[in-house]
Structure 1
């Protein structure tokens, strides 16, 4: 499991290359209302959680972003430091950043 920490006021963690079937965790040092995941190369689908659960590839408790270059914004339902967890069956490169 790889981890990144984003200090309060910073925008995000960028150019993260995922390891297949390994959870990538990004923790923001503040309570965010929304996060944005950017798929920089669209190499594989992303499975995402922002509610403390551990994502699994194809898991029913995850949000999915298809294999495409693009971005998805997700409301964060929890209080305290915002934690984003992402997993993929491939090795796409992503950025995790604060939303609005």
Structure 2
């Protein structure tokens, strides 16, 4: 490899490392979100991981088995029944539920409370 090529490779590597460090420094250590999984114990497939406190956070119907809310708002886990929905569980900010128990696989969406 000639000298110019070596300098280009070294410069590109340095720039890539600097860019990666800048992105890592800009990212928050732990972002708040409402997350739900299709298995108990916060495992399996993550069905939703919303960092935005939307009025309604939709999830795949009837698959949620665990959830965690670290957003600043409370959320009501809801099951749609005909034209209305009923509350399965209430998730205040900072609340997590590793299993919905008998209500596993019933949540259709989360409604923001407050």
TM-score, with normalisation over the residues of structure 2? 0.38
More relative contact order in 1 or in 2 (CA 8 Å, sep 6+)?
A: 1
Larger Rg: 2
Q: Tell me which protein shows more helix as a share of its residues.
A: 2
TM-score, with normalisation over the residues of structure 1? 0.41
